[in-house]
């Protein structure tokens, strides 16, 4: 397989669109390798890189499952708004299913709070609830809304 690097900075390579996102979800639906496509592709890169970071969209689809299947650890980003917290249960269930069937060693590295507005009560309530539920798995660093 021949993937071109879109940019190269010393010690950092980027390979965007390994699975052309627009059509990948649909093309994988009926594939025998639907949950293994990214694992197959990344097998060519693992020897060359110490770390591979996979950035996934906020949907719970085949592409996310592919990323979880091939990953050692997952950082779960949580938008600090009321309805985004509802998605935590869904992502945790997805991770549990991937662990059970395809990647027994998948670990949660932590939860990263994003789109943070520190002066908003909702953020403080969500942060407090996350720490009560997940303790040290909630990163002390957060991504502000203005970032």
> In terms of Cα–Cα distance, which of 43, 103, 41 is closest to 71?
103
Residue with tokens 């071109």: 4
The model's pLDDT over 52-106, given as tens digits with 9 standing for 90+, comes to 888 887 788 888 898 999 999 999 999 888 777 778 999 999 999 999 999 999 9
C-alpha to C-alpha distances, 35 to 53, 60, 70, 97, nearest whole angstrom:
18, 13, 9, 12
Please tell me the pTM assigned to this model. Answer: 0.80
Per-residue DSSP letter, 146: T
Predicted pLDDT of residue 2: 45
CB 40 within 8 A of CB 69: no
């Amino acid at each position: 397989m021949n993937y071109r690097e879109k940019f190269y900075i010393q010690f950092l390579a980027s390979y965007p669109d390994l699975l052309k996102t627009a059509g990948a979800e649909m093309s994988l639906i009926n594939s025998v390798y639907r949950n293994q496509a990214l694992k197959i592709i990344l097998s060519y890169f693992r020897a060359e890189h110490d770390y591979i970071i996979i950035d996934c969209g906020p949907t719970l689809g085949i592409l996310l499952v592919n990323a979880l299947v091939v990953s050692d650890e997952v950082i779960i980003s949580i938008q600090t708004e009321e309805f985004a917290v509802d998605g935590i249960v869904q992502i945790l269930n997805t991770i549990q299913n991937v662990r059970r069937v395809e990647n027994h060693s998948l670990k949660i590295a932590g939860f990263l709070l994003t789109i943070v507005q520190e002066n908003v009560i909702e953020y403080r309530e969500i942060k407090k609830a996350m720490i009560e539920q997940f303790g040290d798995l909630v990163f002390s660093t957060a991504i502000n809304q203005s970032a």
